[in-house]
Amino acid sequence: MALNRAMIFLGPPGAGKGTQANRAAKRYGVPHLSTGDMLREAVAQGTELGRSAKPLMERGELVPDNIVMGMVEERLARPDSAQGFIFDGFPRTVPQAEQLDKILARRGFGKPLVVEFHVSPETLLHRVSGRWTCSVGGETYNIYERPPKVPGICDVDGGKLIQRSDDSPDIVRERLAAYDRKTKPLADYYRQHGVLETVDGSKGVEEVSRELNEIFARAAGRDGHL
């Protein structure tokens, strides 16, 4: 089943959109694109973009558009993006959305299908503050919802679990505030374009997956492909 479209999952960190983007990407055989992953890759590799972004990321601030849009345009030019892709948490602002629309048009895609994940601030802080990452293999755990068998130790490879610097509670709060300030108008932008759907990200993973599959099916019915 070909996706042949640009999908965008919106929502604050911890809303479950990453998990769902990962599942949907596997289901349709398209890349799951997160600017966070692209940036961390650039920081780890020490590229010019990565060196510019690193201090901003450590302070939990948003990275400027010239860096982000440059990475996005390069990424969408790769062959694996030709049949569609799923953006996880991008765009974050209306100007980014406008620029993305132009990039999509240049690459022969129509309007994106946008899904907004709704979830309460209390749920978000609880989820994100419980997240620990394996220092060896990168596996993620949640001490409330999906704890490791031995506290502080990865089930898979015995690696020490750490909290990423951008998952600390202060940075989470700052990130949520930045999210509220800058990205809520996005929903209005996409609603005006008639492409916005919403799901309740407080529900369980399987239930949200089912809702998403219904949304995809409705969209496919509307424009004759998925």
Q: Which of residues 204-223 bind Zn ion (CB under 5 A)?
A: none
Beta carbon nearer to Zn ion, 158 or 169: 158
Q: Is 157 an interacting residue with respect to Zn ion (CB under 5 A)?
A: yes
CA pair distance 56, 62, nearest whole angstrom: 7
User: Could you say which of 62, 134, 186, 199 contacts Zn ion (CB under 5 A)?
Assistant: 134
Q: Which lies closer to Zn ion via its Cβ, residue 64 or residue 152?
A: 152
Q: Tell which one of 77, 105, 156, 217 touches Zn ion (CB under 5 A).
A: 156
Choose, from 5, 17, 23, 127, the residue flagged as catalytic. Answer: 17
Minimal distance, residue 127 CB to Zn ion, in Å:
20
Among 154, 172, 199, 212, binds Zn ion (CB under 5 A): 154
- In the bound complex, what is the minimum distance in angstroms from residue 155's beta carbon to Zn ion? 7
The footprint of Zn ion (CB under 5 A) covers: 134, 136-137, 139, 154, 156-157, 159
